Chain A
C-alpha cells in the first residue's frame, strides 16, 4: 500500500532527527538541510543511507543530491548557474522548488534547494 505524504513526512523527520541530532519540531517542510538543520556535506551521504533503509528504496548516486554540476564550466560561470546549468539542475531535481533560486542562481544558494519538502517530494516519487 502506498504511503501517505504524512507518513513519509514522519519517517523523513525521524531520519533527520537521528542523522542531524535536531529536535523534531525543527524539521518543518520548509527547513533547509544545511542552513536550518546544520547538515554538513558528509551528512548528505548519511541521509541517503538512512532514507534507503527507512523506506526500503535504492537512491542512485546524484539522483537526490546532484553532485556533478558545480565543476562543469558550462553549467557554472562566475559563481552563478548559467541558463544551461539551470536547465540541467531543474531536470536533475524535479522534486525541488526553484521559485527563489531562479531569480538568483548563486552556487552558494544551491543548498537552499535541499529542503525537507524536497526530500518528501523525492521519496513520494519513489514509493508511488
Chain B
C-alpha cells in the first residue's frame, strides 16, 4: 500500500501552485478509530495531505530528482473539522525554492469553505547543512509513485 492522501490534482502550475482534492469516505479505516461514533479527519493527516500536494509541487520543479522531505510545519491552524462525505481541497503555493529546500504556503477548504492554513518547509536532503549522506535511490519519488503522478498529469 502506498501512503497517499490526495485523490486528484485540479490545478498544477509548475514551480508556482498546485490544487488537489481528497474525498473523505467511511471506507477509510482510520475514521472509525478517530473517533468511534464521531468520525473526523485527523488534523495530522490533513497536514500530510498538504505536505503531499506541496511536496509534489516542489519535487516537480527539479523533475523529481531531489529527495523532498517535509522538514518543518511552520504553521498549521484549523478553524473547523472535516467529516465523511465532505471534500478537502488543498491549495499550495511555492514561497521560495533553493538548492537546499523550499517553503510553501497553503490553504485548506472543506466543501469550498476555508478551514485552515498550513505553511511548510521542505528539505532537499542530499543538500542538508549537516553533511549527512542518504541512500542514492530516490525513496521519496519512486517509479511507482511517478507512474501515479503521470495518471494525475502532474508529471511528465
* A positions within 8 Å CB-CB of B: 41-46, 48-49, 52-53, 61, 65, 67-68, 70-71
Asked if residues A65 and B129 are in contact (CB atoms below 8 Å), the reply is: yes
Does residue B14 face the partner (Cβ distance < 8 Å to A)?
no
* B positions within 8 Å CB-CB of A: 71-72, 74, 95-96, 98-101, 103, 121, 123, 127-131
CB closest residue in chain B, given A66: B129
Chain B residues lying within 8 Å of A67, measured Cβ to Cβ, are 129, 131
Contact of A61 among B71, B99, B121 (CB under 8 A): B99
Contact of B74 among A41, A46, A65, A71 (CB under 8 A): A46
* CB of A21 to closest CB in B, whole Å: 10
CB closest residue in chain B, given A71: B131
Indicate whether A45 sits within 8 Å of B100 (C-beta atoms), given known contacts A67-B129, A70-B131: yes
Asked if residues A41 and B128 are in contact (CB atoms below 8 Å), the reply is: yes
* CB of A74 to closest CB in B, whole Å: 15
